[in-house]
Amino acid sequence: MPLPMEARKLLPHRGQMLLLDSVLSADEEGGTALADLSSQSISLGHDGNMLPPFYIELVAQTYAAVCGYHLLKTGQPIPDGYLVGVQKFQINQSFSDINFSSSELLIKVRTVGNFDGFAVVEGKVSREDIIMAEGRIKLFVPQDESMAELIGLQKTGESTATWQL
């Protein structure tokens, strides 16, 4: 399957919560994606700067889209995943600090560890070769039906008190 690929084919996000435009590259260790944020994006504050939580969301969506690409390529379904932690994430620049000629952001992710459905991912968000934000996130993707069922029950609000692992 050729890259770049539209992110909407790889992610469940829709509307304004779909922040990525496309996946540019994907390999065994990570990948890159592109986001071109309009001035109407919910990720931008009134001053035109990106709201800090959205840098984290860009990294999470990039990792999910890269994983989704690999799964789609092998004919597997794309599961739901969950952001479960943020570690050492820092914002280095605000949008107004520099006069940029482009609104495109390049997001790079790299898996630094994974175990039983959990992944630790390093991510960088750049604009015109300037790193705007970087850090680590932790994600969880259920690996078996029993865990997926538990999460499904919690989503619907049903009681999990009698549910057995």
DSSP, residue by residue, the chain:
--SSEEGGGT-S--GGG----EEEEE-SSEEEEEEE--TT-TTB-TTSPBPHHHHHHHHHHHHHHHHHHHHHHTT------EEEEEEEEEE---GGGS--S--EEEEEEEEEEEETTEEEEEEEEEETTEEEEEEEEEEE---SHHHHHHHHHHHHT---TT---
Per-residue pLDDT, 122? 98
The pTM of the full predicted model, rounded to 2 decimals, is 0.84
Question: 145 or 147, which is more confident?
Answer: 145
pLDDT, residue 149, reads 53
